[in-house]
């Protein structure tokens, strides 16, 4: 049998992107499908969409418009840095202003990697009295998980590589790319 060569899609205008993993059209189709599932499972219930800044801003803008539901929107901001060997310290830079007491929350982020950020944010929102916090991410990088976080809705799984675009950054760059791409490994500082 002839060997099949799969050539990675490239963005010739951005040589630092090794490959395009998901095109804008693929992402749009997946976001529509996710929104349909969320809508069907939400059974028309009101909820608060909470995005984790900054990475989730493109995804949540598309998801919100694909959801045919009355929702409230708010954001919080986190930063994390390495603690001792097996831990990570997550800090709340700023909090939501919405009152989530007794309400259902859909917590939205760009990617779940180690899981520390979303585990922290979920616990934080439950402590503020949310009746339920479901998690929705565009991307899941399961190979890197260090702490369990229940993620109900996942757009795509990605391999253990640094990905950028569609809101995701590397040192605050590449958020504007309309696709999800893998950054060349020599560009990523260890
Ligand atoms: P955590 O490791 O699950 O706590 O993820 C923390 C944050 O790191 C995510 O919300 C992303 O903003 C960022 N992150 C993790 N992996 C990547 C990546 O491959 N590209 C861009 N940002 C990432
Ligand atoms: Mg983030």
CA of 141 to the centre of ligand 2 (A): 13
Separation between Cα atoms, residue 39 and residue 153, nearest integer Å? 12
Cβ contacts of residue 146 below 8 Å, gap of 6+?
86, 88, 114, 115, 116
DSSP helix/strand/coil, 140: strand
Separation between Cα atoms, residue 102 and residue 100, nearest integer Å? 6
Which protein residue's CA is at the shortest distance from atom 2 of ligand 1?
114
The band of 106, judged by pLDDT with boundaries at 50, 70 and 90, is: very high
**Residues catalogued as catalytic:** 113
Separation between Cα atoms, residue 111 and residue 143, nearest integer Å? 13
For residues 165 and 5, the model is more confident at 165
The band of 116, judged by pLDDT with boundaries at 50, 70 and 90, is: very high
Alpha helices in the chain (DSSP H): 24-42, 57-66, 116-127
Check whether 54 has a pLDDT greater than 90: yes
Residue 150 corresponds to which tokens in the numbers above? 């229940």
Tell which one of 55, 141, 154 to mutate to probe ligand 1, the residue whose CB is within 8 A of the most ligand atoms. 55
Protein residues whose CB sits closer than 6 Å to any atom of ligand 1: 52, 55, 80, 109-118, 162-164, 168
Q: Are 118 and 107 in contact (CB under 8 A)?
A: yes
CA of 134 to the centre of ligand 2 (A): 17
Return the H-helix or E-strand segment holding 146.
none
Tell which one of 78, 111, 121 to mutate to probe ligand 1, the residue whose CB is within 8 A of the most ligand atoms. 111
The band of 4, judged by pLDDT with boundaries at 50, 70 and 90, is: low
Separation between Cα atoms, residue 8 and residue 120, nearest integer Å? 36
User: Which residues have a beta carbon within 5 Å of ligand 2, which is an ion?
Assistant: 55
In this prediction, residue 42 carries a pLDDT of 81
Average pLDDT over residues 160-189: 94
Q: Please tell me the least confidently modeled range out of 6-20, 29-43, 44-58, 147-161.
A: 6-20
Average pLDDT over residues 54-67: 97
What number of other Cβ atoms are within 10 A of residue 66's Cβ? 17
Average pLDDT over all residues of the chain: 93
CA of 118 to the centre of ligand 2 (A): 9
In this prediction, residue 148 carries a pLDDT of 96
The band of 101, judged by pLDDT with boundaries at 50, 70 and 90, is: very high
In this prediction, residue 176 carries a pLDDT of 98
Check whether 8 has a pLDDT greater than 80: no
CA of 1 to the centre of ligand 2 (A): 44
Residue of 144, 133, 110 whose CA lies nearest to 31: 110
């Amino acid at each position: 049998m002839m060997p099949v060569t799969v050539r990675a899609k490239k963005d010739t205008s951005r040589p630092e992107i090794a490959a395009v993993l998901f095109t804008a059209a693929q992402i749009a189709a997946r976001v529509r499908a996710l929104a349909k599932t969320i809508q069907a499972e939400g059974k028309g219930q009101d909820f608060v969409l909470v995005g984790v800044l900054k990475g989730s801003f493109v995804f949540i803008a598309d998801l919100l418009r694909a959801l045919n539901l009355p929702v409230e929107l708010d954001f919080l901001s986190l930063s994390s840095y390495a603690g001792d060997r097996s831990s990570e310290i997550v800090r709340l830079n700023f909090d939501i202003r919405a009152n989530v007491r007794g309400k259902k929350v859909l917590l939205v982020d760009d990617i779940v990697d180690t899981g520390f950020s979303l585990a922290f944010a979920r616990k934080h929102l439950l402590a503020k009295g949310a009746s339920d916090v479901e998690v929705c991410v565009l991307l899941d990088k399961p190979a890197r998980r260090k702490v369990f976080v229940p993620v109900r809705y996942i757009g795509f799984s990605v391999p253990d590589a640094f990905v950028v675009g569609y809101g995701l950054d590397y040192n605050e760059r590449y958020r504007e790319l309309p696709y999800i791409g893998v950054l060349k490994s020599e560009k990523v500082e260890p």
